[in-house]
Amino acid sequence: MKLNKLHWMSAALVFALISGFIIHLLLTSEAQPQTPLYTFTDSKDSYDIELKEKSQQVTALTIKLAELQSQVLRLNALGDRLAEQANIPENEFNFSELPPSGGPMIQSHVNQTLSASALFSDVQALETELQLKEKQLKLLESLTFGHHIENTSYLSGRPIKKGWLSSYYGVRKDPFNGRPAMHKGVDFAGKENTHVIATAAGVVSWASERYGYGQLIEIDHGKGIKTRYGHNKELLVNVGDVVNKGQSIALMGSTGRSTGPHVHYEILRNNKHIDPVKYVYRKAK
C-alpha cells in the first residue's frame, strides 16, 4: 500500500510539473507580439486593387493615344492633299513632318507594354503635335486660297438644284418617336441620286459615315464657317479635296437616321449651329 501511494504521489508531481511547463509556454507565447493571420491576405487584396487600377489607367491612356494618332494621320492626309492642290513644292511645305522646334520628339509606343506615366507622356506629345498641325493647316489654307476663297466661300443658295425644303431649323416633332427635339439644320427632299452641291467653295474636312448623319460631307469654308450635308447615298469627294461653289459633292440618299431620300443641311459658325434659311435665300455675289 505504501509503495502504491508513493507511486501515485510521484505521478501527480510529474503531472503537475508538465502542466506548469505547458502553461508557462502558453503565457510566454501570448506575451510576444504576433503577426495577424489576415495581413498577407489584406496585402494581396490591396496589391490586386492597385494593379487593377493601374491596368485601367493604361487601357484608357492607350485608347486616348490611338485616337490622337488617328487625328494626326487625318490632318496629315488633309494637309498633304491641300498642298498638292496648291502646287506647293514638297521641300517647301511638308505637312507630314513637324516644323523645327526645341526638344526631342517623343515617339509613340502604343504597341508595347508601357507604364501609365510613359503613355501619359506620349499623349501629351501627340496633343502638342496636333496643335502644331492645326497651326500649319491654317497657314496652308491662307496660302492656298488667298483672295479667291474670299469671294467663292460666300454662302448662298440651296444644297440641291432639284427638290424642295421639307423641314426647317428649330424644335420640331421627332420623326421616329414623336417627341419634341431640336433640329439643327434644314432638310431638302428630292429623288434618290439627286446631286448634292456645295453652297460655297472650301476644303472637305469630313467625307465618311457619321452617327445619325449616315454618309456625311463636311466642308470648311474658312473664318470658322463649315457646312454639313447628311444622309447621302454616295460621296463624290474625299477629305482634303478643294471644292468650288455649285460643285457636286454627293448623291442624295437616306442613310443614317432618315425616313426617306433627302439632304440634311447644316451651317456652323465657330462650331455652333446657326439657322441656314437666311443663307439659303441669300443672293449670290
* Cβ-proximal residues to 273 (8 Å cutoff; 6+ apart), any chain: 184, 185, 266, 267
Alpha helices in the chain (DSSP H): 2-31, 39-85, 116-145, 147-152, 277-280
DSSP, collapsed to helix, strand or coil, labels residue 248 as strand
Average pLDDT over residues 253-267: 94
Kindly tell me the sign of the dihedral angle through the C-alpha atoms of 7, 10, 14, 20: positive
Q: What pLDDT is stored for residue 88 in this prediction?
A: 59
Q: What is the CATH number of domain 164-280?
A: 2.70.70.10
Looking at the predicted structure, is the pLDDT value of residue 124 above 70?
yes
Looking at the predicted structure, is the pLDDT value of residue 18 above 90?
no
Burial (CB < 10 A; 0-12, 13-18, 19+), residue 153, is: buried
Q: pLDDT for 33-46, tens place per residue?
A: 555 544 556 666 67
DSSP, collapsed to helix, strand or coil, labels residue 227 as strand
Instruction: Categorize the per-residue pLDDT at 81 as very low, low, confident or very high, splitting at 50, 70 and 90.
Output: low
* CA–CA gap between residue 29 and residue 200 (Å, rounded): 90
Grid cell listed for 8:
501515485
Q: Domain boundaries in the chain?
A: 42-145, 164-280
Instruction: Categorize the per-residue pLDDT at 283 as very low, low, confident or very high, splitting at 50, 70 and 90.
Output: confident
Residue that has been written with the C-alpha cell 510539473 in this structure = 17
* Cβ-proximal residues to 120 (8 Å cutoff; 6+ apart), any chain: 61
Q: pLDDT for 215-246, tens place per residue?
A: 999 999 988 999 999 999 999 999 999 999 99
Grid cell listed for 215:
454618309
Q: What pLDDT is stored for residue 215 in this prediction?
A: 97
- Give this prediction's pTM: 0.51
Work out the angle at residue 46's Cα, subtended by the Cα atoms of residues 45 and 49, and round it to the nearest 5 degrees: 85
